[in-house]
Each structure stands twice: as structure tokens, then as C-alpha cells.
Structure 1
């Protein structure tokens, strides 16, 4: 570089010196306003092979409403609107000021390239970064080295960033971390509006707040109202649920979540998972509603119970968080478990005591047994059926090795199970039974038919061992050669094996969903009331047997 000293000129006379220096040099290229400069000392010389003048001490550059000050500067003779500035660089324009160690300024394009300890300020925030490019016309700043932004109530860090002061929007890429009063956001690509306080993200993003942990690939989050709208494999983890879906929304004011498309709600407290296409969750009320082919999965002892319906509603125990809540299922309920299958119109599942209430035409199958009634109450123990109470037109059917249908019916029944198999049935009111006596599981010896007010049937390995009666029964054994088809069926007999749901049928997508209301479920389906216990003591009455052959059943004292 070569410089020729022109001499010291005062600030009052420098402007004329600048005009004299510029005579004969080309006019600024482009549409930028002329750059006016002043300094304590002016020198001429060359810089990078170009003729320049060197301005030293209290350099001031003005262009329209923009002012640039520095310790020194080079102004290109070929284009007076281009400068290289050094030392305590300070650029101001209405609503913005920036400082740095050095800078290049193109007054025609009105772009400043600032380097070294860059700080950009406006009324909304302060940005610091090693380097910054600033477009004064668009009032847009962008950096490509780690930047840090501090606002009144937030900080943002990122590798790359852009800030437009006209619309007050910050855009970021790579290694983004936002920390505010109500949330911490980690993202790959994100924008933040410093006025509306809304974060919008366009890549994998995690948001941690008092409301839970949120994850999505696209969406918006209002850092003030905490309203959220997420898309793309989104999830929200609350203290009670992990909610997933393609689209998630959250309204903090209403404590209301929605999820749609491939939705799942996983209970944090247990192994229950509910899936569907749409989910609504009122967190303050502890209520969740799922529809669109919803399925509940509950895992117990390596066995899964699947339950599906048109609509599933989960209600938490908001008064005592240590206790589990209830699940309501309505319209076309289907159940599948390895040792239990069932159908009904509506159902209530009390998860706290593992009791299931089935209403409106319930049909159940447990191994080779079929049970129907007007309403049924199932009691589970360790994930396996323990007791089944049937009320109104109770009817139980089992099929033996010769495909005979053993039957028992009455006004109400209580069936007790052991390891998933029936061990006892108590029939209360209008009891009737019809059982086939077999020899060695290969030959039918006859059919035992009995009628009594109440009876008890005791089973072993799925076979009836004996029957006891409350009153003297009307019982008889009919030999095989006297059996006719009407005699082998109790009134109301319907074998429904073709209705028994498979796992695939329970999981199958539903058709057009019926309109259901209300959105917020009110109350719970009425629970069936067990009948009063018989006042009279049972007494044993012998059941007819075939002489010399294995008896179908034998009478024993009442237990």
C-alpha cells in the first residue's frame, strides 16, 4: 500500500477538501445516494491495487438516514460509495445500531459487512456474533457464525441466523436453542417473531415447558399464551400421558390438547395404550376422548387385552392421582384376549379394581364357553378373568369333546374362574341345566336335564363334576336313543361361535363413524346391580346316573 500525506484539515474545511479530491472521479454506480465523509486527516494512496484515500481520526460517513463512524477508513476513488472502515465501527439508522471491529460498506447496494465482536441492537433485542452482513435497505441482518440474541425475556443461540427489523422476525438454522420464561426450545430450523412472541419451526424440534415435553418436525408455539400447533410425527409428554399424532394442538388457557392422524395415547402410570385417528384431551378435567377406529391395549403378565369401539373415553382420578381411572367404550365394543373374547354395545372399565361392566347384548367367550345376558360384570385379577356376574336372561353354553352343547341358564349367574377356566357357576332364579354324560370322552351315555330355583355347578378341567340345588329339582337322565333335537336345547339357545371376535377383527379399521355426542362425556353407564343372595340354605339332590358307568355328575353336600 502506498499513501501520500495531504495534510491535516479541520472538520469545518474537510467537506470542501473531499469535494476537491473527488473531482474527476467516476460517480457512484447504482441508485445509492452519495456517501458524504469527514475525518481529521486525509491521505491518498493505493489499497489492493486500487486508488483510495485514507481517512484518519473521527471518521464520519453519512448516507441518507444512515451514519457510520470509525477510527479510520479507506474510500475507493473508483467508487466513492465503497469504504473499508476500521476500529470502533458504529453504524446507526432509525430503530437500529450496530458496532464491530471492522467493516466493509457498499453505499450503492447499502450493505455493510461487519467483522469482529459484532453487536446489533434495536428496541426488541441485542444480537452478538463474530461476523454479520447487514442490508440497510431491507433492514435485514444475517450471520453465519455462532450468534447469540438477548431479548427482554428470552435468549436464542444458533449457528446461522437472519433478522429483519421491519417485521421483527428472526430466522435460525442449526444448533438452535431458545430459552424463555415458559419454555426451552431446541431446533434445527426455526423463526421467532419478537413482537408476537411466536416460534415457528421447520425441522426436528423439542420444546420443554411446565406443560410437558413436545416434539415435532413442523409447527408453531406461542411463548406467551403457550398455544401450540405441531405437525409431522409430533408428540407431547404430560405427567399423565405420552400423546402422539401427525398433527397436535395445545391450548394452555383451556388446558386442552388435540391429536389427529395415527394417534396414540400411552399412560405414564401403567401399560395402557390407546390408539385411533383423533384424540381430545382435557387435562384439567382428566378426560380424554379417542375416536376413528380406537383401540385400547393393556398388557398384563405378558398377555395383552385389546378393546375397540366407535369411541373410547378415558377419565382419570383427578382427586387421587395415585389411583387409576376409568375407561368408557360405546357402540360396537369388541374385546380380545388369549383367554377371553367379547362383544357388547357399551362398556365401562374401572382400571382401579380391574372391573369391566358390559351393557346391551353382551356376548362373551372363555375358551370353549359362551356366556350371554342382559348385562355382565367381569372381574379381572392379575390380568386374567377371575369372576363373571351375569344379570337378566343369563345363559352359559360349553361344547364337549363330542361337540355336544352343555347348557345352563337362569335369571342371574356368577361364574368363577381359576387360571382362565371355569371352576364354578352359581345360578340364582329359574335355574335350568342340560348336560351330557360321557364315557371316556368318546361315547354319550345320556343327557342330564334339571330345573330348580337355584343351582351350583362345580367344574374340573372344564368338565362338570357335580351339581347342587336349593330346592328339590325336576331332574332326569335321558338315554341317547331317546334324545331328539328339541330336547337337546334349552329355550333361548343360540350358539354364536361365528360372532366370536378375533384379534384381527378387534384391530380392524371401523367404517363410517356414527355421530356421537356429547364431546365431553357426562357421567358413566349404569352399573348392573347384583341380585340378593338366596335366603335358604342349599341342599344336595342326586343327579341321575347310568348304572355301572361313569356318572355325569354326582350330588354332594352344599358348600
Structure 2
């Protein structure tokens, strides 16, 4: 009987002890609402509580609808081991942490340290913060500093974009995510791969901090430093980033790209390359519209054609490229260059105020005091039209006050032709035929075939001229009703050495590809004064079938 009484007495004491252990939880729960600095973990509810020091050590074993509260967060699970002395617990099954109405964390298992306010969630982890969701299998979430760290692969979904990587962080206070190792960002419009990426979920803005590739449709971007907004599809790229689209590329110290509208703007040391047509433009500012094919460059702008063995370098204040019938078989382009145009190639040089190149007829038209040099030949007039064939010069048409000057080997005498219009035909970069019409004046020095000495000066006037050359020497000449005089070299009148309007613009001629930046205009008084062409009387037009 005494042993039975002692056993009953001991059971009563144990029951009182368990009741006493539960009561402080209720008191701390009530106190948590009054004290902001209370960091104790409170057990709000469990269907069943068991305590066995020999089996579970200091853990209170909780099962059934377990609910904890800690510093503004509610934590739920199917069962838990509660370590009251260390202010921590292990949670099993349907683990869920809720903080306010903006953040929730779910997993299959979690360990929560109330002193450090760190939740170590494992297996099928889902962190939801406003409209952003992070999926992973291993996440350590620091409530004190408001960030989660995943290290066994993670996926973040935000605003229709999906980010994956091997390791990363997500900060719920700043809404910033950092991703490292095999990073992939994808949405309906683009695909980005890199090794390091910062992502601002507030702005849906990705910050590239390492070698990265972005693919969007036919366009491709390579950058090691830049920003990409997944919502607006705007890119800000730095550090010589490269953009490519259908055989064209754009590089600059900084590039701004609107993929939604296909617009690009590049600044400082810009290089635009068209590998299809084998030309490129450089400058300190460039813009390109991939939808319309429009391109523009300025500030030390240079256009380079490298389709031939020798590249053609051209400088102007501004270049503009217009594309017509884009995305069709009849596509063609017009290139406008204006203000102080200078061009250099080994065999051809040119200077003018502005020009237009039309790929439809391969014609380059030069305006306002244009001059073209080919070896020792110089052409100038009011307007010069140069036609290309297979990217080489085919023929040149000089309109208005046309003047051709050829410097002879002695550099003192010059063959000259002036007329209203002139046509020069080229073969492999050399003139082989020249045609002149309208008030043709000629100064020509015949040579002795035996020793190439000058015989005299031939001054001729004719309505039309046709001259054939071989190796830059006259082979045959045809003129319509010519009148002229041959002066021996010792009897040339001083007034016959040069035709009216003659000028040798060697001081203007570009000397090399770097000299295209050095503008040198004509000397005062040597500029052409454009002649106004009088229109025919109405009666003549009517007789010729012209407009009434």
C-alpha cells in the first residue's frame, strides 16, 4: 500500500510539472503583444504534446496542427520538436511560415532558431513575397536581415520571367535577388545566360555583372556589364557590349536597346558593322532601328566599305542609312552623308559637301563643289554621279561645269577638258574612255612615242568629244567638227596653258585614311558658281511634246 501511495504521489508531481511547463507558454504568448523586444518562441497550439527526456532529450514533441508565433511571424506544421531552452524547434510536414500578408515560406522540413531568427527550410521549398516566388530545395531565411540564401539550385518567377541558378540570395526588404553559377533568365521575348546576375523584382530589372548572352528573336547581345528590364524590354549596356542582328552588329562603350521597338542607341567609340554588305560605320554616337533598317552615326563619323581588296574610308559630320522594302527581295538602301565629306581609297579619293548613295542603282551622287581623284586624274563640277558595279567604280557622270584635269609625269603640264557634261568610264579602277558634250574645250599635250617628250600644246574647241585611253595614255580620239591649233612647246601663248575654270586641288585631296578628318575647303574664289539653267519657252515645250 505504501508503494502504491508513493507512485500516485509521484504521478501527481509529474502532472503538476507538465502543467507548470505549459503555463509559461501561455503567459509569454500574452506578453508577446505587449513587449516588442520579446524574442521568445511561443507555442500557440498543438493537438498533442509529449515529453520524454530519455527518448527526445530536451525536446517537447508536438503533433497535430502545430502553431508557433515569433516576433510577428506565425509558423505552422504537422509535427515539431520544440526546444524551449534554446528557443528553437524542428518542424515536419506541411511547414509554413507566414509574415504579415506579403511573405510566406513553405517546405517539407525546417529548423527555426528563434535567437538568430533564421529558418533553415529543406525539400520543396517555396518562398512567396508579393508577386515574386522562389522555388528551391534548400533555403536559409534570415528574418533579422530579411534575406534568403539558397545553395542547391533555385528558380525565381517574377512578372512572367523565370530565373534559375545554382546558388543565390533573395532580399525581401530591398526586393533584390543575386544569382550565381549557371544563371538563366527567360521570358516570352528573350533568353539570358550568365554566371552572375542581380535582379530587382520591384523594377523587374536585371543587372549583368559578368560575361552574358541575351537572345531575343534574331538579335543577340553580349555584355559583361549592363541592365535589362524584363517589363519594358529596355537594355542599358556598358563596357563594349556587342549587339548582333541578321548579319549586323553594334558595339559601343554604352548601348541602350529597346527590344520592344527594335531601337538601339550607342555612345563613344561606336562601331556598326554590316557583314552582309561588307561595310561599317564608326563614330561617337550611333542609332539603329532593326524594324525599319534606319541607322545614323555622327561625331567623328566614318563609313568604311571593305568589299574590295582596298577599303574605302569616308568621313562626314553625319551619316544616315534608310532601308526601303525591308524584309523583301526588292530591299534597297540609301546612304546620306552631309557636311564636309571626305573619302579615301588607294586608287580613288573624293571631297564634297554632301552625297547620297542609292544601292538600287549603285549610284553615289556628290553635291556642292564635288571633286574626285583617280591616280593623276581629277574631275570636278556642280554634281558628280559615280556608278558602281560589283562594288568597284564603273563610270562617273559630271553634270554642270564639268572639268577634267590630268597631271602629266613632269608635274608641270596638265591635260584639260571642260564641258557642260562629262562621262568617264572605268575598267579595273582606271579610266579607259571619256565623253564630253556641250561647249567642249581641250588642252592636250601630244607626246613623242620614242622618248615621251612633249611635242606641243593642242588647243581644240568642239561640241562633242570621245576619247579612248589605254594605260592612262590616249589611244584614239573622236571629235565633232573640231577647230583647234597645235602650238610648239616654245611658242605656246601664256593664255593657252590653262582653260577658264582650271584648278588643281592638290591641297584639298585626302592623303591617307587618317587625313579624311582634316577638312580643307577650296580657296576663296575657286568655288563653283552654280549656273542657272534656263528653261525652254512654252511654245518649244509644246512642240516637243512637253507639258502645256
TM-score (ref. length: structure 2): 0.82
Change (3 A) 1:98 1:319: closer
Change (3 A) 1:442 1:176: same
1:387 aligns with 2:398: no
- Structure 1 CA distance for aligned equivalents of residues 77 and 327 of structure 2: 68
- Structure 1 CA distance for aligned equivalents of residues 156 and 338 of structure 2: 53
Change (3 A) 1:500 1:171: same
Aligned residues: 501
1:452 aligns with 2:452: no
- After TM superposition, list the pairs within 5 Å mapping 1:261-410 onto structure 2: 261-267=268-274, 269-318=276-325, 321-322=328-329, 323-403=331-411, 404-410=413-419
Post-superposition Cα deviations, 1:461-520, rounded to whole Å, max 9, x if no partner, equal 11112322112x221211122135543222222222232213333564889xxxxxxxxx
1:451 CA drift (Å):
1.3
> Which residue among 104, 112, 124 is the counterpart of 1:105?
112
Structure 1 runs, 4 residues or longer, greater than 6 Å off? 20-23
1:287 CA drift (Å):
2.0
Is the 1:32–1:109 Cα contact (8 Å) retained in structure 2?
no
RMSD: 3.6
Find the counterpart in structure 1 of residue 496 from structure 2: 487
1:55 aligns with 2:65: no
- Structure 2 CA distance for aligned equivalents of residues 319 and 201 of structure 1: 33
Change (3 A) 1:20 1:461: closer
- Structure 1 CA distance for aligned equivalents of residues 190 and 109 of structure 2: 36
* Secondary structure of the structure 1 residue equivalent to 2:513: helix
* Secondary structure of the structure 2 residue equivalent to 1:338: coil
> Which residue among 514, 518, 525 is the counterpart of 1:505?
514
- Structure 1 CA distance for aligned equivalents of residues 25 and 51 of structure 2: 10
Post-superposition Cα deviations, 1:112-132, rounded to whole Å, max 9, x if no partner, equal 122334232344233222311
Change (3 A) 1:46 1:246: farther
> Which residue among 50, 64, 69 is the counterpart of 1:42?
50
- Structure 2 CA distance for aligned equivalents of residues 365 and 185 of structure 1: 50
* Secondary structure of the structure 1 residue equivalent to 2:325: coil
Is the 2:445–2:458 Cα contact (8 Å) retained in structure 1?
yes
Find the counterpart in structure 1 of residue 186 from structure 2: 179
> Which residue among 449, 456, 467 is the counterpart of 2:477?
467
Is the 1:344–1:358 Cα contact (8 Å) retained in structure 2?
yes
Find the counterpart in structure 2 of residue 541 from structure 1: none
Post-superposition Cα deviations, 1:171-190, rounded to whole Å, max 9, x if no partner, equal 32221111112222223322
* Secondary structure of the structure 2 residue equivalent to 1:444: coil
User: Which blocks of at least 5 consecutive residues in structure 1 are unaligned?
Assistant: 1-5, 8-12, 512-527, 533-559
- After TM superposition, list the pairs within 5 Å mapping 1:417-432 onto structure 2: 417-432=426-441
- Structure 2 CA distance for aligned equivalents of residues 507 and 452 of structure 1: 38
Is the 1:162–1:170 Cα contact (8 Å) retained in structure 2?
yes
Post-superposition Cα deviations, 1:393-421, rounded to whole Å, max 9, x if no partner, equal 11111123333311111111111112211
1:436 aligns with 2:440: no
- Structure 1 CA distance for aligned equivalents of residues 71 and 463 of structure 2: 106
> Which residue among 235, 238, 241 is the counterpart of 2:248?
241
Post-superposition Cα deviations, 1:189-231, rounded to whole Å, max 9, x if no partner, equal 2233445333332323322224722232233322233222222
- Structure 1 CA distance for aligned equivalents of residues 262 and 308 of structure 2: 35
- Structure 2 CA distance for aligned equivalents of residues 122 and 233 of structure 1: 36
* Secondary structure of the structure 1 residue equivalent to 2:152: coil
1:128 aligns with 2:135: yes
- After TM superposition, list the pairs within 5 Å mapping 1:1-16 onto structure 2: 16=20
Find the counterpart in structure 1 of residue 96 from structure 2: 90
> Which residue among 143, 157, 163 is the counterpart of 2:164?
157
- Structure 2 CA distance for aligned equivalents of residues 495 and 277 of structure 1: 34
Change (3 A) 1:46 1:199: farther
* Secondary structure of the structure 1 residue equivalent to 2:277: coil
Find the counterpart in structure 2 of residue 518 from structure 1: none
Change (3 A) 1:350 1:179: same
Is the 2:292–2:326 Cα contact (8 Å) retained in structure 1?
no
- Structure 1 CA distance for aligned equivalents of residues 273 and 214 of structure 2: 19
Post-superposition Cα deviations, 1:291-315, rounded to whole Å, max 9, x if no partner, equal 0111111122423222211100001
Larger helix share, 1 or 2: 2
Change (3 A) 1:209 1:495: same
1:66 CA drift (Å):
1.8
Find the counterpart in structure 1 of residue 523 from structure 2: none
- Structure 2 CA distance for aligned equivalents of residues 378 and 90 of structure 1: 77
Change (3 A) 1:353 1:46: farther
- Structure 1 CA distance for aligned equivalents of residues 465 and 247 of structure 2: 46
